[in-house]
């Protein structure tokens, strides 16, 4: 394999000049630069990033640990992270912690041992060990999607996520404006900030519409399709079942639709449906799903930029970035097919 010394010899320049051309660290005369590029091409030279890392103590890599990579929400986050990392000259190492606290700590340790320059992590519902590890080893990290409460004396992390409360309230207010008085919520896994915030948004939406909160109209779907199927079945078998449902993520929307199909009520004739999370097929369901869309790619891209800011300035105060969602008005809420374009409005 050709080395930098081979390139230098072939181009008739010093190794330092080759390095300056490769790393853009100093201006090089155009014809010298071209001679170096020609020699690189001729010899098929590829830089050895491991050798460079030994000198710089940087690997130009970012570790990404997100569970359920097959979930379109996280797939889009991954696309955003990958594109932004590439744009800034970083490569990615990806791990799936499977929403399991022990596995989570293990994969984060593996990424750390590979000497990534920093990490982006969507924490599990019990992130104690993860937080302790990141803190003990002073790993530059950005938490994504599921937020930690900022403890008075504990470690503080940069965090990036979507707004959860107001967009959920928006769905509830919309259903209330259509005349619904019993609106059920299929909620996520307890322990996630997203679950807490969406429940809080649900309650705010009810209050803003002058409707009482009934605990029995909130069923825990555990953030999964199977959990939501069960939770929806429970809501449908109440003596006075809800006339409208809000599902608190994309997987739970699928589970709720399974339960509805199994039990018979038609959407939106018998029961209206509004969903947190938009996804590629939401527009193909009949009726088309009224939803709140998270800016998933932007969440990923922003997490990279926040991490790079942290690497450039390790002592800067930790910050939490919130990104607005978009209300995508379709027909599962019971509204007629809009004659013009989809009504899209930002809610945050
Ligand atoms: N968090 C936020 N939104 C989501 C999730 C999640 O874990 N899964 C699907 N939508």
Q: Which of 232, 282, 280 is nearest to 255 (CA)?
A: 232
Q: Residue 299 has what pLDDT?
A: 98
Find the 75 Cα to ligand 1 centroid distance in Å.
Answer: 11
Segment 305-322 shows an average pLDDT of 95
Per-residue model confidence (pLDDT) at position 149: 76
- Span 303-316, mean pLDDT? 96
Please enumerate in sequence order all residues whose Cβ is within 8 A of that of 77, keeping only pairs 6 or more positions apart, or say none. Answer: 66, 122, 144, 145, 296, 297, 299, 300, 303
CA–CA separation, 251 vs 256, rounded Å?
9
- Report CA 1 to chain centroid distance, whole Å: 40
DSSP string, 258-286: HHHHHH---TTTTSEEEEES--TTTTTSS
Residue 294 has pLDDT above 80, yes or no: yes
Stretch 303-332: mean pLDDT: 96
Helical packing angle, 30-43 and 4-11, nearest 10°: 120
- Axis-axis angle for helices 165-177, 193-208 (nearest 10): 30
The residues, any chain, with a CB within 8 Å of residue 319's CB and separated by 6 or more, are 158, 159, 306
Contact (Cβ atoms closer than 8 angstroms) between residue 299 and residue 160? yes
> In sequence order, what are the beta bridge partners of 327?
292, 345
- CA of 66 from ligand 1 middle (Å) equals 11
Write down all domains in the chain, each with its CATH number in brackets. Answer: 4-47 (1.10.260.40), 61-162+296-323 (3.40.50.2300), 165-294+327-347 (3.40.50.2300)
The answer, yes or no, to whether residue 348 has pLDDT greater than 70, is: no
Residue 156: pLDDT band (50, 70, 90) is confident
Best residue among 73, 164, 294, 299 to mutate for probing ligand 1's pocket (most ligand atoms within 8 Å of CB) is 73
Question: pLDDT confidence of 49, banded at 50, 70, 90?
Answer: confident
Dump pLDDT digits (tens) for 53-97: 777 778 999 999 999 788 999 999 999 999 999 999 999 999 999
CA distances from 68 to 71, 124, 297 (A): 5, 11, 16
Q: pLDDT band for 340, please (50, 70, 90 cuts).
A: very low
- pLDDT reported for residue 343: 59
Neighbours of 72 (CB within 10 A): 16
- Output the residue whose Cα is nearest ligand 1's atom 5: 249
Each residue's pLDDT tens digit, 159-193: 999 999 999 999 999 999 999 999 999 999 998 99
Task: Name every protein residue with a CB atom under 6 angstroms from any ligand 1 atom.
Answer: 71, 73, 145, 194, 223, 249-251, 277
E strands in the chain: 61-65, 91-95, 118-121, 141-144, 158-162, 183-187, 218-220, 244-247, 272-276, 290-293, 320-323, 325-329, 343-347
pTM: 0.88
Residue in 314, 295, 318, 309 with CA at minimum distance from that of residue 143: 318
d(CA 101, CA 127): 6
Closest CA to 249 of 143, 346, 164: 164
Model confidence pLDDT, tens digit, residues 122-141: 999 899 999 999 999 999 99
Q: Is residue 155 scored above 60 in pLDDT?
A: no
pLDDT of 325 reads: 98
């Amino acid at each position: 394999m050709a080395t930098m010394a081979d390139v230098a010899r072939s181009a008739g320049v010093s190794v330092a000049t080759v390095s300056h051309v490769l790393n853009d660290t100093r201006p090089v005369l155009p014809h010298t630069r071209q001679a170096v590029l020609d020699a690189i091409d001729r010899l098929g030279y590829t830089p050895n990033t491991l050798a460079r890392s030994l000198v710089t103590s940087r690997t130009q890599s970012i570790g990404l640990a997100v569970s359920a990579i097959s979930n379109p929400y996280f797939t889009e986050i991954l696309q955003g992270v990958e594109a932004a990392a590439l744009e800034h000259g970083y490569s990615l190492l990806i791990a799936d912690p499977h929403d399991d606290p022990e596995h989570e700590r293990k994969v984060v340790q593996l990424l750390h041992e590979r000497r990534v320059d920093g990490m982006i992590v969507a924490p599990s519902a019990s992130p104690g060990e993860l937080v302790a590890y990141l803190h003990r080893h002073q790993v530059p990290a950005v938490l994504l999607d599921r937020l930690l409460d900022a403890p008075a004396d504990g470690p503080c992390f940069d965090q990036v996520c979507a707004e959860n409360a107001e967009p959920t309230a928006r769905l509830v207010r919309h259903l209330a404006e259509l005349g619904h008085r019993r609106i059920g919520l299929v909620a996520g896994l307890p322990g996630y900030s997203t679950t807490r915030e969406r429940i809080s948004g649900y309650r705010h939406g009810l209050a803003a519409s002058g409707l009482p909160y009934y605990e029995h109209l909130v069923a825990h779907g555990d953030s999964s399709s199977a959990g939501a199927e069960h939770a929806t079945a429970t809501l449908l078998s109440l003596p006075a079942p809800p006339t409208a449902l809000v599902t608190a993520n994309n997987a739970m929307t699928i589970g709720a639709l399974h339960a509805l199909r199994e039990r018979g009520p038609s959407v939106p004739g018998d029961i209206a449906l509004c969903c947190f999370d938009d996804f590629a097929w939401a527009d193909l369901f009949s009726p088309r799903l009224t939803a709140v869309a998270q800016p998933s790619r932007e969440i990923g891209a922003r997490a990279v930029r926040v991490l790079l800011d942290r690497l450039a300035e390790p002592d800067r105060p930790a910050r939490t970035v919130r990104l607005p969602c978009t209300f995508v008005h379709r027909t599962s809420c019971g509204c007629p097919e809009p004659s013009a374009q989809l009504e899209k409005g930002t809610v945050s």
